[in-house]
Structure 1
Amino acid sequence: MGAQHRIILDTDIGSDVDDALALALIFGSPEAELLGVTTVYGDTLLRARLAKRFGKLSGRDIAVYQGIASPKSGREVWWPGHEGSLHEGLPQEIIESEDAVAYLVREVANHPGEIDVMAIGPLTNIAAALEADPAFERNLRHLWIMGGAFGTGETEHNFRSDDQAARTVFASSLNITVTGLEVTRQVEMRRDQLELIAAAGPLGEALDADIRQWWAFWNEEWNVPHDPITVLTLLRPELFEVSTPGTVAITCDGDSAGLSTFTPDPEGRVRCVTTIDAQAVANEISTRIVKAGRLLHDVETP
């Protein structure tokens, strides 16, 4: 049986470790066909090379496209500085020559109604694709977003980093499911899960090192797997409940820039994830990432 979902992952991989975890989860999901990866926000060439490297660690030669570095909002990029530092020889990784926005527009136009985009970073590339081709919003099957913090009064990193792009995306007629912080924070990754992942071949070892680096950066020994949770809203929808249709407004001024507000509207095309089976989701994340890491390991071990 072939893959049920054709996915493009749009990511700011390399800062928060959860982007790498989301990519690994897709590798361990036989029902998902990863068509390509597009990178966004900051040093998108480094991010692209890092995504390519994670593909190789799992035995896959994935197509990776460098996206837009500077937010549409003009806000300064948040850059911790550790991105890719544990991965030697990244400049040797060869990525696609086509830029990410052109790829998104072309691939979606070539397969109208068939492709899901998983956007787990700032929405700069997605907004640019909408502006580059008016047909993009009707050609894309569905957009799955990690972003926002609905009903909390907080601003979340992805929307805050490019509030203008987020406003453009939510003003479109795209079919959108969005997973906010109020949902993702119900799941934590701790040492027991990390031990499982670390034992799963070269991919697991690399993820283990990156997770420990991220923990050290925050002086913590746990993290929230925001992005893998968002991927599972597509792959395992029965583990989640979503709202009725509505619209999302994005504040673009002052200290509240990036604030997201959901308003129910039967004519709306946005649904927010509202409820999560936290334990089942946590187990699914570990199981799929371990599976991705062991696929290559099992092939290479006689």
Structure 2
Amino acid sequence: MYQKRVILHTDIGGDIDDFWALVMLLRQSAWLKLEMILTDTWNAVARAAVCEKILAGTGFEQTVLIGAGIQDDDREITHGEWIRGYDMSRYPGRFRKDGVVAMIELIEASPEPVTLISIGPATSLAEALRIAPGIAGKVHFVGMFGSINRRYDGGTGAEFEFNVKQDIPACRKIFTTPWLSFVNTPLDTCAAVVLEGEFFRRIAESDDPLLRKLMECNACFLKYQAGGKDVPAPRRTTLLCDTVAIHLASSRRFLHMEILKLRVTDQGLTVRDDISGTPVDTALSWTDLEGFKRFLTDTLTARNSDSRTQERE
């Protein structure tokens, strides 16, 4: 089976959906070969430590390079408690503090195009493009950016989306770069993904070591949101926006796609602009949202996903 070479760009250690997205990506190693994780936004080194702790003991620590992006500051991340006392020097895998340079080197050395999945503010990606603009010609870009017709709460209308608003100039750079291809899930589709009921129970009650780590991180995030107070065991997930970007790296199944000409405004809104916008293959609505939730649950709970047969489109 053909494996796409993948780089994951993430602000993991912020909202919890990055954790769910990473586990989903690891479970699809039969067709998505994760080669690097580039962490970004504020304390990129702490976010890299989170990735190390997740990968440790999974076997992926031997094959996946972890790189820290631009280190803006050392502020506490939402999962600071989970990595407290963790010693990065004892990680058995590869870590590069100069993650932007490491990503450029990986892309330039690749004999084939690389799929870059971005599920966080694009600060370090914009820096990579400044240093080596030619890498765009070797990259299929998949992102989770913006809001066109739907808000976080499901209401109608555009809204400021975090990955765009956090670094507007960097996101505008992403939207004006000539990638080999550009696929994106805005809030219109990804903000509808929540697992509850049997889907959530299958994950929460699993004894799978990777899912136990996921549930630990989920609990840590909820406690952080509650101001450090213990919270009851959840019965559902929060929004799992980033999982849709992982899915789009290999499939359009369950989704209605449209080529839209999009532009990021100075204020940070993602708008249609048929004159100066960039054509983006956009996941604008669902054809089978329940089907995707089932697929996501099956993917997360499959210990040996390489042997699992799943139709790809």
* TM-score bracket for this pair, using the shorter chain length: 0.7 to 0.9
Matching residue of 2:283:
273
Matching residue of 1:286:
297
- The yes-or-no answer on 1:229 pairing with 2:244 is yes
Alignment of 1:125-144 (within 5 A): 125-140=124-139, 142-144=140-142
Between structures 1 and 2, the one with greater helix share: 1
TM score, norm. by length of structure 2: 0.81
The counterpart of 1:153, out of the listed 139, 147, 158, is 158
C-alpha distance after superposition, 1:45-66 (max 9, x if no partner): 1111111211125332121001
Task: Compare 195-204 and 178-187 and name the one that shifted more.
Answer: 195-204
Alignment of 1:4-19 (within 5 A): 5-19=4-18
TM score, norm. by length of structure 1: 0.84
Where does structure 2 lack aligned partners over 5 or more consecutive residues?
A: 150-156, 227-233, 307-313
Matching residue of 1:50:
50
Find the residue that maps to 1:122 and give its secondary structure: coil
- The yes-or-no answer on 1:35 pairing with 2:62 is no
CA separation of 1:245 and 1:182: change in aligned 2, threshold 3 A: closer
CA separation of 1:166 and 1:206: change in aligned 2, threshold 3 A: same
How much has 1:218 moved relative to structure 2?
A: 4.5
Matching residue of 1:66:
68
Task: Compare 195-204 and 216-225 and name the one that shifted more.
Answer: 216-225
CA separation of 1:97 and 1:282: change in aligned 2, threshold 3 A: same
Matching residue of 1:166:
171
Percent pairwise identity = 20
CA separation of 1:191 and 1:210: change in aligned 2, threshold 3 A: farther
Distance 2:51 2:96 in 1: 15
Distance 1:16 1:104 in 2: 23
Matching residue of 2:152:
none
Distance 2:169 2:276 in 1: 25
Matching residue of 2:210:
203
CA contact (8 A) 2:263 2:278 kept: no
Distance 1:293 1:217 in 2: 32
Where does structure 1 lack aligned partners over 5 or more consecutive residues?
A: 71-75, 296-302
CA contact (8 A) 2:7 2:116 kept: yes
CA separation of 1:290 and 1:181: change in aligned 2, threshold 3 A: same
